[in-house]
Amino acid sequence: MIVCAQGVVVKGSEQRYLPGRRAWIKVRSRTTAEGIIGAVTGQVESPSSLLLGRYDDAGRLRFLAHATSLAPGARRELVGRLRAAGVEHPWHGRKFSADWGRTGELEHQPVWPELVAEFQGDTAVDEGRYRHLVRFVRLREDVTAEHVPAFGG
């Protein structure tokens, strides 16, 4: 067993590394956190996924994570709660990559950054951003956007 900050790799005690084969088992470390819903993919009235952010120390809404496709129950939870934002939104006109390190743009609709989502993600974070897709867990009705930790914090 090899332990690292991002999880655990499990292998047999006599098992050697086999290039190009998935012979070892990787168990990622996962945690939950909060992010402000800043945009959605799909339609605001029926979002497909969420783009989450946090404010930095200068008060700018910074991109934090992209969530996986929402389950039907999560979509129902968000219906009527999200409000489309216009040109005054900090992400209006901004382009997001469809995936970490890949080309292609993610079409999104900015929403007013007023709802807080709890999400589950692994611990692979680069420059304050989650490298892999995160999973929406629930809305945090008890937390306001002002109480979400600062970006990078």
pLDDT attached to residue 40: 96
pLDDT attached to residue 59: 93
Per-residue CA distances from 148 to 31, 33, 88, 92, 143 (Å): 16, 9, 22, 22, 7
Per-residue CA distances from 99 to 68, 76, 81, 85, 133 (Å): 11, 25, 26, 24, 8
Alpha-carbon span 118 to 142, nearest angstrom: 11
What is the value of pTM for the model shown? 0.79
Distance of CA 85 to the CA centre of its chain: 20
Q: Where are the domains of the chain?
A: 32-147
Fold of 32-147: OB fold (Dihydrolipoamide Acetyltransferase, E2P) (2.40.50)
Per-residue CA distances from 58 to 54, 88, 147 (Å): 11, 17, 15
Neighbouring residues of 58: CB distance < 8 A, sequence distance ≥ 6: none
pLDDT attached to residue 57: 93
Alpha-carbon span 47 to 136, nearest angstrom: 12
pLDDT attached to residue 99: 64
pLDDT attached to residue 98: 66
pLDDT attached to residue 134: 94
pLDDT attached to residue 10: 73
pLDDT in 10s for each residue of the chain, 153 residues:
444 455 677 777 787 777 777 777 776 666 789 999 999 999 999 999 999 999 999 999 999 999 999 999 999 999 999 999 989 999 998 988 766 555 568 889 999 999 999 999 887 788 888 888 999 999 999 999 999 999 876
pLDDT attached to residue 15: 79
Residue pair 60/90 in contact (Cβ under 8 Å)? The answer is: yes
Q: Which residue has the tokens 């590394």?
A: 17
Alpha-carbon span 135 to 119, nearest angstrom: 5
